[in-house]
Amino acid sequence: MTGCDPGHKLAGMTTAFVPNQWYVAAYTREIGRELFTRTVCGESILFWRTADGAVTAMSDRCVHRRFPLGEKPSHLVGDTVVCGYHGFTYGADGVCVAVPGQARVPRTARLRTYPVVEQDSFVWVFIGEPERAAATRIPRAPWLDMPGWTVVSGMEPLAARASLLVDNLLDLSHETYLHGGYIGTPEVAETPITTEVDEEAGIVHVSRRMADAACPPFYANSTGLTGRITRWQDIEFTPPCLYLLHSRIAPAGVLPNDDGTDPDAFHVEVVYAITPETASTTHDFWAVARDFALDDQDVSDYLAASNRTVVLQDVAALDVLEQVISGEPDGYQELSINIDTGGLAARRMIARMRG
Amino acid sequence: MLRVTWLPGDDRLRGRCHCGAQAEADEPVAMWEWLLAHPDHPAGGPVSLDPPAARPPAHLVRST
Ligand code: FES
Ligand SMILES: [Fe+2]
Ligand SMILES: [Zn+2]
């Protein structure tokens, strides 16, 4: 017995996740002086900001009779959380500081707390043994909180296991079919890809560089380019959670300068955080950062609405796929072809991290 | 760094290990198996293990 509250875990779901990793739990803007809960890797977690502005994360179940602390009438009083059922009161460190009707607070009355870090507009939470948090890398998405970039972002709930979203994002040839008329054009599925696995860094790269492609509405309407384009899609996936798509759009034939500067191209950093909620549901965080039309609200509105539409097309497809797969006996059949090279590499890396 | 390149239309995958070993494969499962066998990359090159199915499997649905 550690004497510490074990955290609230949904039954039977611990082995489905990569342990001892940082996961995106929320956007920083979502956490304030109101109690906020989100389930990450099957653990229901309560988030709130102290009066000093620091984010805290602790188990969302009162140790007394399990009332959810994120549920009204539970509430904050200064830097304490008061359980809405019988009034057990907890500090920012999760330790119970007051119980009703008696002066003695049981020593074991404390909530599991979680390491949290705010970085790149995200609140990251460490799921696993807390002493391993400091030495575990938090992958970066700096464009989400950087001068010179404008960002739109959101989060859609996905009723499918996280691995289906990993498969989806690592193989962008599906843009041609599932997202035709938005971000897909014939060239995406037709263009060579190079897949690289950097075992040391724990990163899967998939690169597709279209020299002369049609410009899909998503980029035509945001950049104003009307003709053929050079379109680069360089994926950088750091399992289990953070996916980056470095997207470069330029008039056909326009390449970066030899010194690395690239003044005539439009750069879009598409970021996904793939956070398992339960073994069969996922938080699908998406963000689109751009280095052009920085103050143009119409462009922001357009990119936000379009990307959300595209994400919802994926969500609809993956929700159906989850239903089908979960209804099939274990060990269902698949057939992989060349387009799956990156997805297979990501799966393998995740399986190894899961141990 | 392990690298797999693919030219659509060409159908073949080309894999290169960080040790310099190279091979070609028909599909990515065999390609990764071969690359990840480092340092013992099978001499015969990647082998796809899928036996030709006599008859495609039925789509089974679990009773609920
Ligand atoms: S073509 Fe990919 S699932 Fe049908
Ligand atoms: Fe998609
Ligand atoms: Zn090798």
Nearest to A329 among B5, B27, B60 (CB): B60
Number of structural domains chain B divides into: 1
- Which pLDDT does position A8 carry in this prediction? 55
Q: Which residues of A touch B60 (CB under 8 A)?
A: 328-329
CA distance A47 to A56: 6
- Which pLDDT does position A184 carry in this prediction? 87
Q: Say yes or no: A149 and A257 in one domain.
A: yes
Given A101, A135, A169, the domain boundary residue is A135
Q: What is the CATH number of the domain that holds A81?
A: 2.102.10.10
- Which pLDDT does position A189 carry in this prediction? 83
- CB neighbour class for A116 (10 Å; exposed up to 12, middle 13-18, buried from 19): buried
Residue ranges in chain A modelled with pLDDT below 70: 1-15
pLDDT band at residue B10 under the 50/70/90 scheme: confident
Q: DSSP characters for B1-64?
A: -EEEEE-TTT--EEEE-TTS-EEEESSHHHHHHHHHTTTS--TT------PPPSSPPP------
Q: Do A337 and B27 touch (CB under 8 A)?
A: yes
Q: Is residue A80 part of a domain?
A: yes
pTM: 0.92
Residue A95 identity (one-letter amino acid): V
Q: Do B32 and A345 touch (CB under 8 A)?
A: yes
Given A105, A135, A165, the domain boundary residue is A135
A201 touches B at CB < 8 Å: no
CA distance A154 to A305: 10
Percent over 90 (pLDDT), chain A:
87
Q: Say yes or no: A222 and A329 in one domain.
A: yes
Q: Give the model confidence (pLDDT) of B16-57 as tens digits.
A: 999 999 999 999 999 999 999 999 999 999 987 666 667 877
Q: Do A341 and B11 touch (CB under 8 A)?
A: no
What range defines the domain where residue A127 resides?
21-135
Q: Say yes or no: A55 and A155 in one domain.
A: no
What range defines the domain where residue B26 resides?
3-51
Chain A, nearest residue to B64 by Cα: A327
Q: Give the model confidence (pLDDT) of A294-350 as tens digits.
A: 999 999 999 999 999 999 999 999 999 999 999 887 777 789 999 999 999 999 999
Q: Give the model confidence (pLDDT) of A15-39 as tens digits.
A: 589 999 999 999 999 999 999 999 9
Q: Do A338 and B60 touch (CB under 8 A)?
A: no
- Which pLDDT does position A152 carry in this prediction? 98
Given A135, A160, A186, the domain boundary residue is A135
Chain A closest-CA separation from residue B15 CA (Å): 9
